[in-house]
Structure 1
Amino acid sequence: MNSKINIGIIGAAGYTGGELLRILIHHPHVAITFAHSKSQAGKPVYATHTDLLGDTDLHFSGESTQELLQLTNLNAIFLCSGHGESQKFLAQHDLPAGLKVIDLSTDFRDESGEFVYGLPELQRDRIIEADRIANPGCFATSIELALLPLAQSQQLTSDVHISAITGSTGAGQALSPTTHFSWRNNNMSIYKAFTHQHLKEIRMSWTLLHPGFDGAIHFVPYRGDFTRGIMANVYTPYSGTLEEAKAMYQHYYAQHPFTHVSEAPIDLKQVVNTNKCLLHLDVHQGQLLVTSIIDNLTKGASGQAVQNMNLLFGLPEDAGLRLKAPSF
């Protein structure tokens, strides 16, 4: 692609907006037309996202978003405002013809309206042809990727049990008692056990491949005392061998650049700051255990949003997303 993709970001001062800026500033095929923020209007982007000092002189736009949308040659917008805000935004604004929309909220993950659920490992072909993408949730991404191959092989035949932990950035940037450092540090807790909002999209994804799946999904999420990353341990009855399971998973993900099966046990530092999902398999007493790890802000949010953008515009799926993990 010769010309740049002109993009705008709504809600650019939060965690997901900041991650998009970090990725897209260095994306070889993107020009950031505006980064909109009501709370930070007029300020340099690096005044809020302080690590971007020296990387960009971009300022947050605060003017009418309708005026921003009419800017010449705007090709795509990312919606990074709070849940419920995307529906309001689209109802209140007249979008230019041909403008692609990638929404990072929960508002359209049921594929309502024109939105396609943007998990590339599940429905890349539909994403390529879409105009509006509902970016998956962070827990949902990690958990869905753990069992997509089993669902495709029609072996998702019973209840699924999930224990998963996420870092503090998964709760967003606004302060609350459970995100305060003094509470979170050296601490853990369970929240929304069996009722988490991502359960609906998890079931939807698995049933797209295995329509007969009607087992219960028992999901217990944990808050961790670290900032970034998700580790999900997912297990369900399985009648095959470990070697058969590995072959199934390696075949399913062979053409997907970011999801990989590891022979060795995995840890979060392998994926933090990257767009990768790593999976490790084990079979024990008739149960397939899949450990799945991602960075909640990249593969679980902004990185996957850029992956979807690449697909929408016919770019290499990994463009701008070969990011380095901290390792140690």
Structure 2
Amino acid sequence: MKRFQCHCGQEVFFENRRCQRCGRHLGYDPQRGTMVALAQRGGDGWWCEENGVAYRLCGNRLNYGVCNGLVEVGDSNPLCVACRLNRTIPNISIPQNLERWGRIEQAKRRLIYGLLELGLPLEAPVAGYPRGLSFDFLEDQRSNPAVPQEFVTTGHFKGVITLNVLEADDVQRVWQRELSSERYRTVLGHFRHESGHYYFELLVPDRQGFMALFGDPGQPYGQALQRYYNQGALAGWENDYISAYASAHPIEDWAECFAHYLHMLDTLETAAARGIIVPLSDVEPIDRLLQRWDTLAVSVNELNRSLGLQDAYPFVVTPAVADKLRFVDAAIGRYEAVPT
């Protein structure tokens, strides 16, 4: 993540909606990739930047206070680029859900930030999914006895990423992480993983190179997952996979590697922006990124341990995993290189 400043010089953050120094309203302009300090223009609902550029505040900010995105002049959609991707939002008549939804949207906006930085499409149909990317935030009977679903599974299907609203509850998420014997479980991690499923068809049209590293994506998916849940990860998975779950099926391996690629890029950008590491070049070779990531990840984990916390990045990028991350990098690079 980049560093941002208000027009008054105060540092502001990606999630902020108001400057703590001057009190100006803030908003995020996804097209320019920057935070903007705003002044209201009369009573017509438009807000202006210092240079006169006009915006509307996202409808989900005006109505619910869960967003800081901006809508450009001439765009008739009342929602920002991130919020318009929602198909289903939580039932906000349940008091806890408004707070949960706010946490979900924070993580989703960070996902969208990373995807836009990579030049990946959001609303254009991908792999036959007519809506493009979209989101359902659903409850099950554990959080809302009135709904018919006993259990909602986070996942991706035909362009729709579904997230169980309980994933935004820290206690419930940690309980599920322990129950599943996982090393890491976050809302942002879910989003990055599931977006990997969404972009698979777009980024991997040629299966030959993929199969050499990940295996045959045509393996029966349901059977593979059932085997994983019944028998656990493949023996020795630590050598060839970034996580135990990645060993369940080649498509899950791809989605896990895609998520970790986004983890790596975002954290390296944040560290560079804050002077922790040397700034990244505009075209940083993947081998250089992997080297820098190895050093930074160890440092971040040691900082967490110094505070008595669990490792922030409890994974090991083995040579086999590094090859898969190189494949992800090349697949995105090939897409970016195609003229639009």
Could you say which TM-score interval applies, normalised by the shorter chain?
A: under 0.3
Tell me which protein shows more strand as a share of its residues. Answer: 1
Larger RCO, structures 1/2 (Cα 8 Å, 6+ apart): 1
Q: Quick check: which has more Rg, 1 or 2?
A: 2
Q: TM-score, normalised by structure 1?
A: 0.28
Tell me which protein shows more helix as a share of its residues. Answer: 2
